[in-house]
Amino acid sequence: MQTTVDARLGDVIERYWGYGSFRPLQREAMEAILTGRDSIVVLPTGGGKSLCFQAPALVRAGLAVIVSPLISLMKDQVDTLTGNGVPAALLNSSQSADQRTSVTAGLREGRFRLLYVSPERLAGENGQSFQAWLSRCNVSFVAVDEAHCISQWGHDFRPEYRQLGELRSRFPGVSLHAYTATATARVRGDIATQLGLRDPLELVGSFDRQNLVYRVLPRANLKRQLQEMLARHKGEGGIVYCTSRREVEALAAWLEGNGVRALPYHAGLDDSTRSRNQDAFLEEEIDVIVATVAFGMGIDRSDVRFVVHAGAPQSLEHYQQESGRAGRDGLEAECALIYSSADFMKWRLMLEKSGELTDGVRRLLRQMERYSASVGCRHRHLVEYFGERYERMDCGACDFCLGELEPVADAAVVARKILSCVARVGQRFGASHVANVLCGSENEQVLSRRHNQLTTFGLLREATSAELRGYIEQLVAAGFLRQTDDAFPVIALTGQGVELLKDAGVAGDLALSRQRRPVREREQKRSRVETEAWEGVDRGLFEDLRAVRLQIARARGVPPYVIFHDTTLRELARLKPQTLADLRTVYGVGARKAEDLGELFLAVLRGTTTP
């Protein structure tokens, strides 16, 4: 039985998706569906979560109902499925009456194997009649995507998801399956309770996104820092997250003025503009979307090569979810956090004003602050935060492990000099002023206050002001300094800081670091993942294949990744198949796509045509 099931699933993923093997936990998740056992599946973004419920729908008889939170996400997934030859459909409010009639007729006739619907359509008062109608369509199982939305402990809680619990009584003999990319043990328990899952199989994948390169930079000159990032990713897709709508608009305009194809996205834009800008990004009409966190769930563009946070998010859960939108295709991508301690002050003020600043929220902010100012492997920090053991000694894919951070000699001595300066200026000034005094700046503020006469003036003259601000950030995160929540925040000593001033031994294992050098392309050490991903790839041919993909996508009115992911294009540019039979052996090329698109791509591979 086991062998037969495995063979049928293997045949399906090879024929329709062009995959020769399963990713971690996919087979177990699929078998839970085929055996009718409820399940909760947590796989990181890019871990092949959707395939876990799509493939079994073609093996198990009946109709699979997929609950999806966004119309754009439904449409992209259905476009991709139908392009692969999978009979799938969707029902949502954006469709015309004729389109809905066509879909319902197809459902009655048993022509579809997967149906995508919103939680609002399926549950609640408006969903009763639809459920009754759906119960006559031989439903085989229900999959709830983005299931963390059902939990009040999740980072994207949506009240309408709560009503999905009534599906258990309406479809008592149908198995329910929850899928998400991020869920702590507490959230998983809440999902199981709210959906009424019966003895669910819990499958939790690794939180380590090995293809992502993580960097953290104290905010100095944001525009210059962004320029350095964009220079490394010229012409590639990326997301820049900002903490305010005003900054989104300003940065998007600045990028566009500098020749970057960029557009803004935030909740203050009208629906049509927001939708148009999102589509422009998904369809590769622009390269960069500058956004608040309103831009997120349902962003299915697979070839996002970088994500920049121009300000710290409020938790590591948010950071992992948002940065995880890079590299969904499994290829190398960069995630940079450009932060300031002022970010955390802003979050505290905003959350306190809205009444949301609980002790739990304070702890989440503190964990984010520690990550931002930490000196160590970024992959290890993130993985261990989510309760997973990290085995590697060197990830080869973060600023620390790539040698871009330089440990500061005599960190305790440097720390005590900074603390002494904070005390000497009366704990009444911000980080920039303290840094200016320490590096010996004779600007107007320093001279007018006669702080050039302090014993700490020029005490760390060998360091730049930006480096000193970085040290101050790290000492705040380590608990030796604190930043007040005033309108003009100042730096003050904590009790721990006072103790360190009195006794150097209090420093313990304190470590401080600075950027070894500007991370420019000509100087930057290539990450392990980037080296491996491009090995043997003809880059010129890859760009030609991208151009053909874009032409086909434009002609068909679908995003380019619906045609083929970059992973497949790189394999084509590496292996250079010359026949349809050869093409079928390439990762991501299923039977339907080989038949439909094969000759168009083979013409480029054979050199008989150019895009």
Which pLDDT score is estimated for 521? 44
Amino acid at 61: A
Which of the pair, 531 or 193, is modelled with greater confidence? 193
Of 404, 419, 448, the last residue of a domain is: 404
Using one digit for the tens of pLDDT, what is the confidence trace for 128-140?
788 888 989 999 9
Amino acid at 535: E
| Beta-strand pair 513-515/491-493 | unpaired
Average pLDDT over residues 285-314: 86
Q: What is the DSSP letter of 86?
A: -
Q: 0.85 cut: is pTM over it? A: no
In 3D, which of 461, 473, 99 has the Cα closest to residue 107? 99
Of 515, 546, 580, the last residue of a domain is: 515
Inter-CA distances, 145 with 65, 118, 181, 506, Å: 11, 10, 9, 49
Which pLDDT score is estimated for 156? 61
pLDDT > 80? residue 516: no
* CA 230/CA 234 separation, integer angstroms: 6
Which CATH number is 578's domain given?
A: 1.10.150.80
Same domain, 395 and 430: no
Instruction: Pull the structure tokens for residue 350.
Output: 């905003």
530 belongs to a structural domain: no
For 73-96, b/e burial (b = at least 16 CB within 10 A) is: bbbbbbbbbebbbbebbbbbeeee
In 3D, which of 563, 567, 568, 570 has the Cα closest to residue 549? 563
In 3D, which of 5, 3, 10 has the Cα closest to residue 33? 5
| Sole residue written with tokens 């198990």 | 60
* CA 211/CA 329 separation, integer angstroms: 9
Mean per-residue pLDDT over the chain, rounded = 89
Q: Do residues 316 and 364 lie in contact, with contact meaning Cβ atoms separated by under 8 Å?
A: yes
| Beta-strand pair 405-407/114-117 | unpaired
Average pLDDT over residues 207-236: 92
Same domain, 25 and 158: yes
Which pLDDT score is estimated for 611? 59
526 belongs to a structural domain: no
Which pLDDT score is estimated for 519? 47
Report CA dihedral (518, 521, 522, 527) to the nearest 10 degrees. 100
525 belongs to a structural domain: no
Same domain, 223 and 354: yes
Q: Do residues 562 and 594 lie in contact, with contact meaning Cβ atoms separated by under 8 Å?
A: no
Helix (H), strand (E), coil (C) string for 339-355 = ECHHHHHHHHHHHHHCC
Which pLDDT score is estimated for 41? 96
* CA 563/CA 398 separation, integer angstroms: 32
Average pLDDT over residues 416-444: 95
Domain of 26, in residue numbers: 2-204
| Beta-strand pair 405-407/513-515 | antiparallel
Cβ neighbours of residue 64 under 8 Å, at least 6 residues apart? 53, 54, 56, 57, 113, 114, 115, 139, 140, 141, 142, 143
Which CATH number is 36's domain given?
A: 3.40.50.300
Q: Do residues 307 and 277 lie in contact, with contact meaning Cβ atoms separated by under 8 Å?
A: no
Helix (H), strand (E), coil (C) string for 460-514 = CCCCCHHHHHHHHHHHHHCCCEEECCCCCCCEEECHHHHHHHHCHHHHCCCCCEE
Inter-CA distances, 361 with 358, 366, 428, Å: 5, 9, 28
523 belongs to a structural domain: no
> Counting beta carbons within 10 angstroms of the beta carbon of residue 492, is it exposed (0 to 12), middle (13 to 18) or buried (19 or more)?
middle
Of 204, 220, 241, the last residue of a domain is: 204
Q: How many domains does the chain contain in total?
A: 4
Same domain, 219 and 167: no
> Counting beta carbons within 10 angstroms of the beta carbon of residue 392, is it exposed (0 to 12), middle (13 to 18) or buried (19 or more)?
middle
> Counting beta carbons within 10 angstroms of the beta carbon of residue 259, is it exposed (0 to 12), middle (13 to 18) or buried (19 or more)?
exposed
Which pLDDT score is estimated for 92? 86
| Sole residue written with tokens 């399906």 | 12
In 3D, which of 212, 208, 182 has the Cα closest to residue 381? 208
Average pLDDT over residues 66-90: 89
Same domain, 57 and 96: yes
Which pLDDT score is estimated for 269? 92
Same domain, 239 and 178: no
Using one digit for the tens of pLDDT, what is the confidence trace for 99-114?
999 999 999 999 999 9
Which pLDDT score is estimated for 71? 80
Average pLDDT over residues 401-411: 89
Which of the pair, 318 or 434, is modelled with greater confidence? 434
Of 1-15, 107-121, 164-178, 202-216, minimum mean pLDDT range = 1-15
> Counting beta carbons within 10 angstroms of the beta carbon of residue 467, is it exposed (0 to 12), middle (13 to 18) or buried (19 or more)?
buried
82 belongs to a structural domain: yes
Same domain, 118 and 9: yes
Same domain, 237 and 190: no
Average pLDDT over residues 184-199: 90
575 belongs to a structural domain: yes
Most confident listed range (25-34, 67-76, 385-394, 558-567):
25-34
Using one digit for the tens of pLDDT, what is the confidence trace for 134-157?
989 999 999 999 898 887 665 566
| Sole residue written with tokens 């320029």 | 227
| Sole residue written with tokens 């930057």 | 524
- Helix (H), strand (E) counts: the chain: 28, 17
Same domain, 111 and 40: yes
574 belongs to a structural domain: yes
Same domain, 228 and 195: no
Which CATH number is 436's domain given?
A: 1.10.10.10
284 belongs to a structural domain: yes
Same domain, 103 and 9: yes
* CA 548/CA 128 separation, integer angstroms: 46
Same domain, 199 and 285: no
Instruction: Pull the structure tokens for residue 230.
Output: 């964009």
Which pLDDT score is estimated for 363? 85
* CA 431/CA 342 separation, integer angstroms: 10
